[in-house]
C-alpha cells in the first residue's frame, strides 16, 4: 500500500470508528461564545484544553498571544517546521461560536451537547468552525501517522473573535508577518455549493454595515391632530430604501454596480450547480440580467437587516419622530470600498433625501478579495481534490459571504485557498446548527489526500517557487 492509500485508510478508520464524533463532542461541549459575556471566559479554555493538546501531540510548538484590541480575545500561533527549504502552509481557524440560543433548538437538542440524528451531527460550532478545523487537523494527523513526518512546514493561526468581527486580527498579522510567513494559505470555513461536491473558493465578498436614520423630533404626535402637517420619518425611510434598489432588489446606485464580472469569471460561474440551500430560492430577485450564481458570487447585493419606527407590537395613533433601518452591502472586487457610503450620500441627495443620515456601524468592514484563477497553487489543490473524490469540484472566485481574508491575501500577501466542509443548509448562526457526516467523511479524505500530495511534490513546489 502506498503512502497516499495508507493515509486515506487511516482517516477512514478514524472516522468510521467513531473517533471523529467523540473528538467533536468534546470541542462542542466548551461553550466558547464570543458574543456573550458568560461565554467569553471559555475562549481561552477552548485553546488550552482542545486545540493546544491536539496540536502539541502532533509535534507543534504553540504560543498564546494576547490581543491588543480592547475588545479582542487571544490568538494562538502553532508551527511545525521540518526544514526551511520545504514549502510552508499557513492555515486559520476560529474557536469562538455565536450565541447558543438554547431555548430555540428543536426538542431533544442542546447547543453544547453533540447529538447525532441520522446523517446529522447537531451542536453549536459543528459547522462554524470547530468541525471544519478538526477535519483539517486530523488529516494532518493521518499523514504523520503513516509517514512519520509531514514533508512540509505547517503554521496555524487561531483566533477566538471571528464572530464579533475579528478585532485585532489585521494588526496581529501586520505585527507578526515574519512569524506567519508562508507560501500558501489553505483553510476551511463557510459552505460548499453542494453537500456532495468539494468546493474551493479563493476570496470573499466584502461587507459593510450602516444605519439609515431619520430624526425629525423628540417625541411622537397625534396623527389626527397633526396628520398632513408633520413629516412621517417612516415614509421618508421607505423612499430612501426605494431609491437604493428597485422593487426586485436591483441596485440603483451607479457606484455600487461593479464592472468586474468578466467573461472568465462568468465562464467559471456558468458551470456551477444551483446552490443547495435546502429551501426554495427566489429566481426573480436581484439583477435581472444575471444568473443566480452571478448575483451572489459576482455582483453586489443590498439588504435591510432590520427596521424600526414606532412600536409595531403596540402601535398608537401618533406620527413617530424618528425611524431607522440597519442595512448592509455585500460587495465584490472592483467596488471602491472607500466610496460606498459617500456614493450613497450623493445618491440620496440627488433624490432630495438630505434628511436621511448615514451612520456606519461599529466594526471594520471586510474588504473584498479574490485570487487569480490561474494561480498554480489553486490548480494543484483542485487537481488533488478531484483525484481523491473522483469527480469534478466546484470552483468559486469568491463566496457570497464575508471573511477576514484580506488579512491573509493583502497583509500577508499569500495566495488564499478555502476548502469549506459545510453546506448552505447547516443552520449556521441559527438554532439546530449541524454538520453532515457523509460530507465530513469525504472532506477528511480530501484533505488527507491533499496533504499527502503536497508532501510528495514538496521539492517540485519549492523549486517552482509556488
Query: Alpha-carbon Rg of the chain, whole angstroms?
Result: 24
Whether 28 and 41 share a structural domain: yes
Quote the number of domains for the chain.
2
- Judge if 127 and 197 occupy the same domain: yes
Domain of 380, CATH number, reads 3.40.630.10
Neighbours of 148 (CB within 10 A): 8
Q: In the listed set 360, 384, 399, which residue is the last one of a domain according to the structure?
A: 360
Residues 293 and 387 in one domain: no
Tell me which residue range forms the domain holding 326. Answer: 206-360
22 shares its domain with 76: yes
Tell me: do 134 and 256 sit in the same domain: no
Q: Which of 343, 360, 377 is the last residue of a domain?
A: 360
Average pLDDT for consecutive 10-residue bins of the chain (466 residues)? 95 98 98 89 95 98 94 95 96 97 97 98 98 98 97 97 92 98 97 95 95 96 94 97 98 97 94 82 96 96 96 92 96 96 98 97 84 94 98 94 92 98 94 98 98 92 68
Pair 326, 393 in one domain? no
Same domain, 312 and 225: yes
Indicate if 107 and 177 belong to the same structural domain: yes
Cell (9 digits) for 106: 428543536
Statement to judge: residues 403 and 425 lie in one domain: yes
Pairing of the two strands 120-122 and 115-117? antiparallel
Q: Which of the listed residues 342, 360, 378 is the one where a domain comes to its end? A: 360
Q: Give the per-residue pLDDT at 465.
A: 60
- List helix spans (H) across 390-432: 406
CATH number where 334 lies: 3.30.70.360
Question: Is this model's pTM higher than 0.85 or not?
Answer: yes
Distance between CA 233 and CA 150 in Å, rounded? 62
Residues 6 or more apart whose Cβ sits within 8 Å of residue 123: 24, 25, 28, 111, 112, 113, 114, 115, 433, 434
Do 124 and 221 reside in the same domain of the chain? no
pLDDT of residue 89: 98
H helix or E strand, kind and range, residue 324: strand 322-331
Q: Indicate whether 329 and 381 sit together in one domain.
A: no
pLDDT at 152: 97
Same-domain check for residues 116 and 253? no
User: Are 389 and 448 contacting, i.e. CB atoms less than 8 angstroms apart?
Assistant: no
Amino acid at each position: 500500500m502506498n503512502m497516499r492509500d495508507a493515509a486515506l485508510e487511516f482517516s477512514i478508520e478514524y472516522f468510521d470508528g467513531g473517533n471523529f464524533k467523540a473528538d467533536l463532542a468534546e470541542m462542542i461541549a466548551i461553550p466558547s461564545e464570543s458574543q456573550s459575556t458568560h461565554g467569553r471566559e471559555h475562549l481561552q479554555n477552548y485553546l488550552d484544553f482542545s486545540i493546544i493538546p491536539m496540536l502539541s501531540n502532533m509535534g507543534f510548538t504553540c504560543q498564546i498571544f494576547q490581543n491588543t484590541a480592547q475588545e479582542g480575545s487571544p490568538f494562538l500561533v502553532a508551527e511545525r517546521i521540518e526544514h526551511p527549504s520545504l514549502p510552508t502552509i499557513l492555515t486559520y481557524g476560529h474557536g469562538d461560536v455565536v450565541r447558543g440560543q438554547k431555548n430555540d433548538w428543536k426538542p431533544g437538542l442542546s447547543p453544547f451537547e453533540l447529538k447525532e440524528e441520522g446523517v446529522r451531527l447537531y451542536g453549536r460550532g459543528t459547522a462554524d468552525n470547530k468541525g471544519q478545523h478538526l477535519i483539517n487537523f486530523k488529516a494532518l494527523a493521518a499523514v504523520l501517522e503513516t509517514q512519520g513526518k509531514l514533508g512540509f512546514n505547517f503554521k496555524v493561526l487561531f483566533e477566538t473573535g471571528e464572530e464579533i468581527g475579528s478585532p485585532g486580527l489585521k494588526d496581529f498579522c501586520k505585527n507578526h508577518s515574519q512569524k506567519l510567513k508562508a507560501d500558501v494559505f489553505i483553510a476551511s470555513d463557510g459552505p460548499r455549493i453542494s453537500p456532495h461536491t468539494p468546493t474551493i473558493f479563493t476570496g470573499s465578498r466584502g461587507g459593510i454595515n450602516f444605519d439609515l436614520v431619520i430624526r425629525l423630533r423628540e417625541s411622537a404626535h397625534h396623527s389626527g391632530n397633526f396628520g398632513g402637517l408633520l413629516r412621517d420619518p417612516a415614509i421618508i425611510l421607505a423612499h430612501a430604501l426605494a431609491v437604493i434598489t428597485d422593487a426586485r432588489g436591483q441596485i440603483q446606485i451607479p457606484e455600487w454596480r461593479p464592472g468586474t464580472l468578466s467573461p472568465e469569471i462568468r465562464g467559471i460561474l456558468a458551470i456551477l450547480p444551483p446552490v443547495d440551500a435546502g429551501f426554495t430560492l427566489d429566481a426573480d430577485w436581484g439583477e435581472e440580467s444575471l444568473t443566480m450564481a452571478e448575483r451572489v458570487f459576482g455582483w453586489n447585493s443590498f439588504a435591510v437587516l432590520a427596521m424600526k419606527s414606532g412600536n409595531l407590537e403596540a402601535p398608537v395613533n401618533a406620527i413617530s419622530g424618528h425611524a431607522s433601518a440597519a442595512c448592509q452591502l455585500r460587495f465584490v472586487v472592483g467596488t471602491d470600498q472607500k466610496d460606498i457610503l459617500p456614493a450613497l450620500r450623493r445618491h440620496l441627495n440627488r433624490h432630495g433625501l438630505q434628511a436621511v443620515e448615514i451612520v456606519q456601524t461599529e466594526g471594520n468592514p471586510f474588504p473584498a478579495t479574490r485570487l487569480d484563477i490561474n494561480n498554480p497553487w489553486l490548480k494543484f489543490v483542485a487537481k488533488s481534490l478531484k483525484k481523491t473524490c473522483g469527480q469534478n469540484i466546484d470552483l468559486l472566485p469568491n463566496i457570497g459571504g464575508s471573511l477576514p481574508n484580506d488579512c491573509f491575501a493583502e497583509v500577508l500577501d499569500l495566495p488564499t485557498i478555502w476548502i469549506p466542509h459545510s453546506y448552505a443548509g447547516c443552520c449556521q448562526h441559527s438554532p439546530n446548527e449541524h454538520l453532515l457526516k457523509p460530507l465530513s467523511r469525504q472532506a477528511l479524505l480530501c484533505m488527507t489526500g491533499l496533504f499527502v500530495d503536497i508532501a510528495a511534490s514538496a521539492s517540485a513546489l519549492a523549486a517552482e517557487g509556488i
